[in-house]
Amino acid sequence: MAEIKKIGVLTGGGDCPGLNAVIRAITRTAILEHGLEVVGFVNGYDGLYRGNTIKLDLDSISGILHKGGTILYSSNKTNLFRMPFTENGETVYKDLSDVGVENLKKEGIDVLIIIGGDGTLTSARDFHRKGVKVIGVPKTIDNDLTCTDVTFGFDTAVTVATEALDRLHTTAESHHRVMCLEVMGRYVGWIAIQAGLAGGADAILIPEIPFDINKVAEKIKERREAGKDFSIVVVAEGAKPVSGEMVVKSVVEDSPDPIRLGGIAEQVSADLEKLVGLESRAVILGHLQRGGSPTAYDRVISTRYGNAAVELAMEGKFGHMVTLKGNNISSVPLEEVIGKLKQVDPEGELVKTARALGISLGD
């Protein structure tokens, strides 16, 4: 058993339903089960760099289980291993991770629990390589982290997208339109395919299966011939045509992950209107998927992850990330997680189910 008296907590990257539930579980487990002190770094790695902390106790985490976002706030632009500075009119990058290490020592923190996705956990791994005792907790609505079946926040994002599809069905049917819903997911199609199945989509376009717009149009024409003068198409933001590229909405130069996808549904909608002769509309769900209260499932998995993170720390399993396999909580070294994308299997059960139901994947 590791000698631990004080735990630090940090949330990095985009906000996500369930973050507060993880913070709550970490704090309650640390205090009630092990008698530890807990502090949180404000604004992610920026807080670690500036030494900006708040005390986490039973009072400060009371009533946050159902709340979205994070009481510790976050930053998706701070990478202490590559901090941008302007010198002589040019941008240069410096490794200032030692500042973070010193702030951990000043605060007397024995273990740092870092909650985040691939970018945040990459820095977690790098801090572990520098000798910091780190535990990782997987967070991303995209569900694209390898070695774990589910990341918290994903179920909430799918639920929000499904509710949107339910609403789009009624307006699509009323006006005889094609409605194209663009959902998040970056380079994977987990949200798109699960929401599409749950919401009764007629076509689902995901990054793992490049699409032919003519194939999608054929599906809509088949529906028209069968008396269905409306269709629902779910489009993952990273979906791309067979002969094209992903649609990049913008490039944020000062971000560790500068590419911002978005706009593919507009393109798909315009093309389908020309090909099938029905009015078509695009809806980009965007950050609605990130906000609001987490679902019951996400609250439970977040709580389990938070509890497990503290127990891993007490067992001395530093440099590990909490995982879910089946219904069992376990862990894997961060080294096995970083830089590997968990994609939808084009030959997997979810895709086969969609095809069996007559859903077009655009191929």
Q: DSSP per residue over 37-65, as a string?
A: EEEEETTTHHHHHHT-EEE--TTTTTT-T
* Within a domain: 1: no
Contacts with 139 (C-beta within 8 Å, 6 or more apart), sequence order: 11, 13, 16, 18, 19, 22, 115, 116, 117, 120, 151, 152, 153
3-class DSSP assignment, residue 262: coil
Tokens of 291: 């906000």
Q: What predicted TM-score, i.e. pTM, was given to this entire model?
A: 0.93
What pLDDT, on the 0 to 100 scale, is given for residue 255? 64
Mark whether 161 and 38 lie in a shared domain. no
Mark whether 52 and 164 lie in a shared domain. no
Q: What is the edge-to-edge ordering of all strands in the sheet holding 134-138?
A: 53-55, 37-41, 6-11, 111-116, 134-138, 320-325, 328-333
Burial class (CB in 10 A: 0-12, 13-18, 19+), 75: buried
Mark whether 204 and 349 lie in a shared domain. yes
Give, for 326, the enclosing helix (H) or strand (E).
none
Counting Cα atoms < 13 Å in the Cβ hemisphere of 356 gives 8
CATH number where 148 lies:
3.40.50.450
Mark whether 352 and 204 lie in a shared domain. yes
3-class DSSP assignment, residue 223: helix
Catalytic pick among 118, 142, 155, 202:
142
- Full domain range(s) for residue 275: 154-291+345-356
Contacts with 76 (C-beta within 8 Å, 6 or more apart), sequence order: 12, 13, 14, 44, 119, 255, 256, 257
Mark whether 251 and 351 lie in a shared domain. yes
* Within a domain: 128: yes
Total domains, the chain: 2
3-class DSSP assignment, residue 98: helix
Mark whether 282 and 311 lie in a shared domain. no
142 is an active site residue: yes
* Within a domain: 48: yes
CATH number where 265 lies:
3.40.50.460
Mark whether 220 and 85 lie in a shared domain. no
Mark whether 211 and 79 lie in a shared domain. no
* Within a domain: 110: yes
pLDDT tens, residue order, the chain (363 aa): 568 999 999 999 888 999 999 999 999 999 999 999 999 999 999 999 999 999 999 999 999 999 999 999 998 889 999 998 888 888 899 999 999 999 999 999 999 999 999 999 999 999 999 999 999 999 999 999 999 999 999 999 999 999 999 999 999 988 999 999 999 998 999 999 999 999 999 999 999 999 999 999 999 999 999 999 999 999 999 999 998 888 887 777 666 667 778 889 999 999 999 999 899 999 999 889 888 999 999 999 999 999 999 999 999 999 999 999 999 999 999 999 998 999 999 999 999 999 999 999 999
Beta bridge partners of 168: none
Mark whether 141 and 163 lie in a shared domain. no
Mark whether 209 and 120 lie in a shared domain. no
Q: Which amino acid is at 175?
A: H
Mark whether 165 and 105 lie in a shared domain. no
Q: DSSP per residue over 144-190, as a string?
A: -BTT-S--BTHHHHHHHHHHHHHHHHHHHHHHT-EEEEEE--TT--H
Mark whether 92 and 221 lie in a shared domain. no
What pLDDT, on the 0 to 100 scale, is given for residue 166? 96
